[in-house]
Amino acid sequence: MNRSFLFGRRSSAQLVFALGLALVVVFSLVPAVGVLAISFTDIRSLPFLPVHFVGLDNYTTFFSSAQLGYNVHALRNTLVFAVAVTLFQNVIALFIAVLLNQRLRGRTAARAIVFLPTILGVTVIGLVFSLLFNPSGGPAASVWSWFGSSSAFFGSPSLAMPLVIAVQVWSGIGVAVVIYLAGLQAIPQELYEVAAIDGAGGWQRLRHVTYPLLAPSVTANTLLCVIGALQSYQLIYVLTGPINPATQVLSLAIFTQGFGGAQGGVAQSQGYAAAISVVQFLIVMVVSLATLAYLRRRETQL
């Protein structure tokens, strides 16, 4: 295999490959590895300041009593956000995908509409929902007022998180639906015919034909969703700002510690922010590997 280079000298291929790889290495891989390195330093956002090696100081700060409460809170928010988004997004997406896989008039348009938020992006979506949930006279506030109550919505400590989760699910469902639709269409029709001949009803066909054969899509969707949700914060940033305690997640903590807006004594320490990145990375690794192992085992059981 390796000897079968057809185009004369191999060096041309090596050169082109190296050129392409160089950019990725410099701007993606080096920064990724560098996070670990600078998490042991006191590097700051201003250039030309001396950088010191501080050992595990940033990590001990992260787990110090002064920061631990805040960090545990952010970690809890991250997990709540990720679990809720993954759960709702997958269940609702599967429901919508099965619906839009029926022979219905206008289903193509419906698919396009559900996918639309992927194109619109977080800023537009953020503004749309800020408008819908604006406390002074938005439609949500009107509905609230029918029941004689009012709410600050994204500014409310108890409601901000559920709302952000809802908006994230709303905006992320298109991609999940499309993945499920692809999975549904890969299921051979013959299986349904055989099942129908065997006298399987709609529910039985769904349970014993559709669902097992859709397992790979479920795995893909769940994994994408878990990893995405553990790391995502753009929508939270746009909807509730960088320092709202109710929606503080680890990614936002990285942003605020590294680039301003942070509360507490270690503001603007990028070494500390890098340490949070490493902690977050470890959590993402553990959670996604555990999820993958669980889903794979379940796939074979079905």
Partner 1 sequence: MSVIGPTAVTTGDPSGAPTGDPHAPAGTPARDPGRRTGAAAPRSRARIALYVVMALVVVVYAYPLLFLLNTALKSDAEFFRNPTGLVTLPQLGNFVTAWEKGNFAAYLLNSVLYTFVAAAIGTLISLMVGFPVARGYLRHTRLWSSLFAAMLFLPNTLVTVFQLALRLNLYDTRLGYILIMASGVGVGPLLIAGYVKSVPKEIDEAAALDGVGYVRYLFTFLPSLIKPVLATVFILQAIGVWNDIILATILLPDQSKFPVTLGLFAFKGTYVSQWSLLSAATIIVAAPLLVVYLFLQRYLVASVVGGAVKG
* Residues within window 167-186 making contact with partner 1, judged by CB under 8 A: 170, 175, 178-179, 181-183, 185
Residue whose C-alpha is closest to residue 245's, from 259, 267, 262: 262
- Give bridge partners of residue 41 from the DSSP assignment: 53
Q: Whose Cβ is closer to partner 1: residue 21's or residue 68's?
A: 21
Out of 49, 53, 64, 123, point to the residue binding partner 1 (CB under 8 A). 123
Q: Does 201 bind partner 1 (CB under 8 A)?
A: yes
Cα–Cα distance for residue pair 184/27, rounded to 1 Å: 38
3-state secondary structure of 69: helix
Overall residue count recorded for the chain in this entry: 302
Work out how close the CB of 67 gets to partner 1 at its nearest, in angstroms, rounded to a whole number.
17
CA angle 75, 78, 80 (to 5 degrees): 110
Cα–Cα distance for residue pair 205/212, rounded to 1 Å: 10
Beta-carbon contacts of 7 under 8 Å, excluding residues fewer than 6 positions away, are 13
Q: Does 207 bind partner 1 (CB under 8 A)?
A: yes
Amino acid 61 reads T
Work out how close the CB of 113 gets to partner 1 at its nearest, in angstroms, rounded to a whole number.
5
Out of 255, 262, 266, 295, point to the residue binding partner 1 (CB under 8 A). 255
Out of 80, 83, 159, 206, point to the residue binding partner 1 (CB under 8 A). 206
- Residue 188 to residues 11, 48, 182, 192, Cα–Cα distance (Å): 46, 63, 12, 8
Amino acid 76 reads R
72-101 residues in contact with partner 1 (CB under 8 A) are 87, 90-92, 94-96, 98-101
Cβ proximity of 250 and 74 under 8 Å: yes
**141-167 b/e (C-beta count within 10 Å ≥ 16 → b):** beebeeeeeebebbebeeebbebbbeb
Q: Whose Cβ is closer to partner 1: residue 58's or residue 67's?
A: 58
Q: Whose Cβ is closer to partner 1: residue 65's or residue 190's?
A: 190
Amino acid 276 reads I
Q: Does 136 bind partner 1 (CB under 8 A)?
A: yes
Q: Whose Cβ is closer to partner 1: residue 113's or residue 290's?
A: 113
Q: Whose Cβ is closer to partner 1: residue 27's or residue 65's?
A: 27
Q: Does 40 bind partner 1 (CB under 8 A)?
A: no
Stretch that binds partner 1, among 60-68, 72-80, 149-157, 203-211 (CB under 8 A): 203-211
Work out how close the CB of 125 gets to partner 1 at its nearest, in angstroms, rounded to a whole number.
8
Q: Does 202 bind partner 1 (CB under 8 A)?
A: yes
Q: Does 106 bind partner 1 (CB under 8 A)?
A: yes
42-61 residues in contact with partner 1 (CB under 8 A) are 43, 45, 47
